Structure 1
Amino acid sequence: MYRNINNKIFLLFSLTILLFSCSKEKRSDKAAEKMQEFVINISNYARGIDPDFIIIPQNGAELSFNNIDASEGLNSNYISAIDGVGIEALFYDEQLLPEDERLNMVKQIKTSKKVLVSDYITDNTNVADAISRNKSEGFICFPRVSNNYDYLYIPDSVIDENINEITSLQDAKNYLYLINTDSYSTKQDMINAISATNFDVVLIDMDFNEESFTSTEISQLKTKLNGAKRLVISYINVGAAENWRYYWKKKWNTVHPCWMKKKYEGYKDERWVKFWKKDWQEIIYGNDNSYIKKIINAGFDGAYLDNVEAFYFLYYKD
């Protein structure tokens, strides 16, 4: 009888775990659909002001597909709303990664949109291989070497450097990912350093140490050293709140709003958010004080949407 009771307890426990797992999966899938809608709405708002505004979500490749399933084809509404996708650690995450479902998804996306890959490479002898793998797939690559994990240095060389005029994301053959300002004492130092390069696309933060770049400064960055035009894109975190941003309220340090959820592991100043909530969405787009409007006002060519995969991390461990 004791054994039977134990068996029943074990079965009940197993069933509870199974139901909980299914519940998390359903909630995550539903949240993914809400993220698709969020990205589309951001794009519609931005392009209503600037029809050429570029939208590039980072990671969350499955959002590009119907029902968040790569076997069901590309989601036309989502694909129409974006100009490309950014993918971290596609071929390399310290070591060479095995080919997986994510790569297969990105191969489908590249048929209509630009793919920007930042591979994390700890052994510099693998940089050439990472570049080669990306180029063979038609992706543009930013090798994120061991001392540049936080995107704070400008590489010494530019992949496929050219004198072309870059007027759309599809024209780009390379990009600079420089969202950390710690390497520069002043904003002008950073502007000068970027201006001395020939990258086709420059991805930076809207702010330098909480001071926003001006439209004049962004205009300066839109010219390569060789005189040709390039694109300047602003980073924006749409899936997690950052406690140093203009929108952060002091009271949130002790009492979080209901849409602000768990800590972002590894990033102590950020918290995942219920991004579908009205209060958060109004922070991101739709009004003159919104993040996207500030990016547009500063003269950026587009926005790089980070943490779109919040739909997953709200329900699973980071």
Structure 2
Amino acid sequence: MVFSCIALLVSSCGDTGTGPGDEPGPYPEYMRDFVVDISDYADAVDPGFIVVPQNGQELLTTDLEPTGALVSYYAEAIDGQGREDLFFGYAADDQQTPEGETGWILQFLELAESNGVEAMVIDYCWTQWKVDSSYAWNEAEGFVSFAADHRDLDDIPGYPAEPWQANTDDVTTLGDAQNFLYLINDQCFASVDDFISALDATGYDMFVIDLFCCGEQLTSAHVQQLKTKPGGGSRLVLCYMSIGEAEDYRWYWQPEWESNPPSWLGPENPDWPGNYLVKYWYPDWQAIIFGSADSYLDRILAAGFDGVYLDKVDSYEEYI
């Protein structure tokens, strides 16, 4: 296993820049190494554990360009590549993404697929023809997708009435999944039992959910209950985890950080109050994410999730 703290000392390739705090460094490489370390650690505990970074697809190539050389060690460490707004939602929700942006993203997702990394797409739209188009266009590309009607990701969409390409097949790999539900905000649910029951009744092949619901950490029994579809087929349950921002509603947050922040904690995200940019290459932040029984990833592993869905992987862009 190659740990990121070692990579900080020996790394010399990749784009460099000067970010918040005026610390120069190869920030894309730092993030690649962080993701790889997470993958290696999880695989040592639970072989076959799924790792999917969301956005930041440019990390797949050495120069962050679609024509660049593949970073093979990174591609081999991840099972999927998540991407928001491919066809709808880039500039505004329920609006079609500009053609140039779609084309740029598609080049990376096609590169991922050609190297055994499954593309997972989240479009943000609710007009029925746009929802239908999102699913059809993604399927034509060979991508599994979800059309979210709220960017807060707080509900089970009412349309379509059944998941796209609903089936009763066993789903044991990302490549098996024909649809998924991305729901990480519990505000529409009265209790954990309400949340679990609502999801369990759906026919989705895969869930991406949070480790916590209604103030409680999900147990292995909760997660296990979600692993079987109503028709009897198995499904995957992935857990959301932000690695590029700290969240002030998580158990690890310390109240004194607001007045006396640790050296790795950066400014608050103006678009998402309570979320703070981090210097993700700092060992103290990485220790919160993985490596001990109380760390984020270890809690996810102990709860029996099939994999992890990594958010804010693209936070390296804030430093270059």
Q: Common fold, TM-score beyond 0.5?
A: yes
Alpha-carbon offset, residue 100 of structure 1:
2.9
Q: Secondary structure at the match of 1:192?
A: helix
Alpha-carbon offset, residue 123 of structure 1:
2.9
In structure 1, the partner of 2:11 is none
Question: Which of 127, 141, 144 is matched with 1:140 structurally?
Answer: 144
Residue 129 of structure 1 aligns to which amino acid in structure 2? S
In structure 2, the partner of 1:9 is none
Select between 67-76 and 277-286 the one with higher mean Cα deviation.
Answer: 67-76
Q: 1:29 to 1:177 in 2, by over 3 A?
A: farther
Q: Kindly, what percent of the aligned residue pairs are identical?
A: 36
Question: Which of 161, 165, 182 is matched with 1:160 structurally?
Answer: 165
Cα distance in structure 1, aligned partners of 2:232 and 2:251: 34
In structure 1, the partner of 2:280 is 275
Residue 238 of structure 2 aligns to which amino acid in structure 1? I
1:114 and 2:118 equivalent? yes
Cα distance in structure 1, aligned partners of 2:212 and 2:301: 13
In structure 2, the partner of 1:170 is 175
Which is helix-richer, 1 or 2? 1
Residue 108 of structure 2 aligns to which amino acid in structure 1? M
Q: 1:212 to 1:197 in 2, by over 3 A?
A: same
Cα distance in structure 1, aligned partners of 2:18 and 2:308: 33
Alignment check: 8 A CA contact 1:29 1:311 kept: no
Cα distance in structure 1, aligned partners of 2:196 and 2:34: 32
Higher alpha-carbon Rg: 1
Output the TM-score relative to the length of structure 2.
Answer: 0.87
1:150 and 2:146 equivalent? no
Output the TM-score relative to the length of structure 1.
Answer: 0.88
Cα distance in structure 1, aligned partners of 2:219 and 2:237: 13
In structure 1, the partner of 2:106 is 103
Alignment check: 8 A CA contact 1:29 1:68 kept: no
Alpha-carbon offset, residue 234 of structure 1:
0.4
Cα distance in structure 1, aligned partners of 2:243 and 2:315: 9
1:79 and 2:75 equivalent? yes
Question: Which of 60, 63, 66 is matched with 1:64 structurally?
Answer: 60
Q: Secondary structure at the match of 1:67?
A: coil
Residue 151 of structure 1 aligns to which amino acid in structure 2? L
Question: Which of 30, 34, 37 is matched with 1:34 structurally?
Answer: 30
Alpha-carbon offset, residue 29 of structure 1:
7.7
Question: Which of 86, 91, 97 is matched with 1:90 structurally?
Answer: 86
Cα distance in structure 2, aligned partners of 1:121 and 1:224: 26
Alpha-carbon offset, residue 28 of structure 1:
8.5
Please list every run of at least 4 consecutive aligned residues from structure 1 whose deviation after the TM superposition is greater than 4 angstroms: 21-24, 26-29
- Unpaired runs of 5+ in structure 1? 1-20
Q: Could you report, residue by residue, the CA deviation over 1:41-64 in whole angstroms, capped at 9, with x for unpaired residues?
A: 000000000011100000000011
